Amino acid sequence: MVTTTSYLLLAAALFIIGVVGVLVRRNILVSLMALGLMANATALVFAAFSRWYPDGEVLALLVLAASTAGLGLGVAMGVYLFRHRRTLDMDELGQLRW
């Protein structure tokens, strides 16, 4: 049987990988994928605690739905920026003056 501690350690590892991905990578789409990984780690924590609190599963689904909507908007903005600027590098997009 897998304990709650194992789920929490896995969620912490996923969250740390996501933070490193956001801080290190300069590509917008890779940063969005790292943000999605962080949201999934948060949902895993809620699902792990649903053993004691039955609302955890509902909160996990809510986190997944909200992160999916946010990532969809982020990808749409990334496509828009790529069409107009021909790059997804955050350093080159530092000054978004049209």
Residue 1: DSSP 8-state: -
How far apart (Å, rounded) are the C-alpha atoms in residues 98 and 68? Answer: 28
Note whether 16 and 59 are within 8 A (CB).
no
pLDDT at 98 over 70: no
Domain residue spans in the chain?
A: 4-85
Does 4-85 carry CATH code 1.10.287.3510? yes
pLDDT at 95 over 80: no
Rounded to two decimals, what is the model's pTM?
Answer: 0.85
Mean of pLDDT over the chain? 90
Coil, strand, or helix at residue 26? Answer: coil
Banded pLDDT at 59 (limits 50, 70, 90): confident
Contact yes or no for 10/44 (Cβ under 8 A) = yes
pLDDT tens-digit profile of 38-57?
A: 999 999 999 999 888 888 88
CA distance 87 to 47: 38
Coil/strand/helix, residue 27: strand
